[in-house]
């Protein structure tokens, strides 16, 4: 819990644990990475990694006593992303901090918690933006990370004409299976309209055992031939896309973990800022599939 008493003891307060706990239902994608501890630390404003691709030579059978004459190696495409700075500031007057507010014991700490929630929501939006990338080399010199949609392999995009069908949904999941990923449990993120459509695919394929005063059906987990899919409603998803991921190949990367920094006091108020610097790494671009 964030408390004002901590501010006088530490110039910077690590909020990594707090950000993992705030607004889980409003930031399901970011919360998934945090809760599964798919988090890394970077040492620069640019992160680089190699995406390994195994050799797919079909016929590797040889004669008895053969001498190797062909040598192969894994493909290692170089990938990169940039760190984006997220920050929000708080300022509370001395009078407001001293006042008794119903339901709020510590106004300044409450405001910090609210700003932390807003930072996490903004990170969620940026990671799920259709386009976002900017290396910060031109005005206004703000680095913006590549979103997950900017890191998906072109072969893993399923084009849909109007509303998605059940076959479209299965085709997106099949893309991850085709890639030969080791996992068999995936996560699907959709906005409200597409979630209603997916619910409709399976609404007539169940036995309804709920009490007679409780009605409705939602498809939160779908079993397919290609793996189990956890379907998650996400208000920050583009309304025209279905996103299916294998989270084992995703990483939230910090250059600076979420923290609170007290700012210099030069008047009758308390002020400080919540700040973090992070990015998204997709270790395998075929661990992400999209219908659009």
- Flag whether 62 is in a domain: no
Residue 271 belongs to domain with CATH number: 3.90.1690
CA distance 229 to 146: 25
Q: How confident is the model at residue 254 (pLDDT cuts 50, 70, 90)?
A: very high
Q: What is the pLDDT of residue 203?
A: 75
- Flag whether 71 is in a domain: no
Q: Which of 88-92, 127-131, 214-218, 286-290 has the lowest mean pLDDT?
A: 214-218
- Flag whether 66 is in a domain: no
- Flag whether 12 is in a domain: yes
In the block, tokens 């031939």 appear at: 225
User: Tens digits of per-residue pLDDT, 38-69?
Assistant: 999 999 999 999 886 655 666 666 667 667 76
Residue-number span of the structural domain to which 280 is assigned = 4-53+76-291
CA distance 195 to 272: 39
Q: What is the pLDDT of residue 55?
A: 53
Please give the angle made by the CA atoms of 107, 275 and 97, to the nearest 5 degrees: 15
Counting the structural domains of the chain, the total is 1
- Flag whether 65 is in a domain: no
- Flag whether 68 is in a domain: no
pLDDT at 215 over 50: no
- Flag whether 69 is in a domain: no
- Flag whether 190 is in a domain: yes
Q: Which helix (H) or strand (E) holds 89?
A: strand 84-93
- Contact between 244 and 288 (Cβ < 8 Å): yes
How many percent of the chain have pLDDT more than 90?
A: 52
CA distance 122 to 101: 28
Please give the angle made by the CA atoms of 286, 277 and 273, to the nearest 5 degrees: 145
pLDDT at 6 over 60: no
* Entry pTM: 0.84
């Amino acid at each position: 819990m964030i408390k004002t008493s901590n501010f006088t003891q530490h110039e910077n307060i690590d909020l990594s644990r707090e950000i993992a706990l705030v607004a889980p239902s409003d930031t399901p994608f970011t919360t998934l990475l945090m809760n599964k501890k798919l988090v890394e630390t970077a040492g620069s404003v640019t992160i680089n990694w190699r995406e390994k691709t195994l050799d797919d030579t079909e016929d590797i059978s040889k004669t008895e006593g053969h001498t190797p004459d062909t040598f192969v190696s894994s493909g290692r495409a170089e990938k990169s992303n940039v760190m984006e700075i997220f920050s929000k500031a708080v300022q509370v007057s001395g009078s407001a901090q001293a006042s008794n507010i119903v339901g709020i014991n510590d106004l300044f700490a409450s405001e910090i918690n609210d700003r932390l929630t807003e930072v996490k929501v903004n990170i969620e939006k940026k990671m799920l933006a259709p386009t976002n990338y900017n290396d910060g080399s031109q005005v206004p010199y703000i680095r913006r990370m590549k979103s997950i949609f900017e890191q998906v392999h072109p072969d893993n995009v399923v084009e849909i004409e109007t509303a998605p069908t059940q076959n479209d949904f299965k085709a997106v999941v099949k893309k991850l299976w085709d890639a030969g990923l080791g996992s068999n449990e995936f996560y699907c993120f959709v906005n409200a309209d597409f979630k209603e459509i997916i619910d409709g695919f399976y609404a007539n394929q169940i036995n309804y055992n709920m009490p007679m005063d409780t009605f409705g059906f939602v498809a939160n987990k779908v079993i397919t031939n290609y793996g189990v899919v956890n379907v998650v409603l996400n208000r920050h998803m583009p309304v025209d896309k279905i996103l299916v991921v294998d989270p084992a190949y995703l990483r939230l990367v910090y250059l600076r973990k979420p923290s609170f920094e007290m700012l210099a006091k030069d008047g009758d108020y308390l002020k400080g800022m919540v700040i973090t610097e992070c990015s998204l790494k997709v270790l395998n671009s075929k661990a992400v599939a999209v219908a659009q």
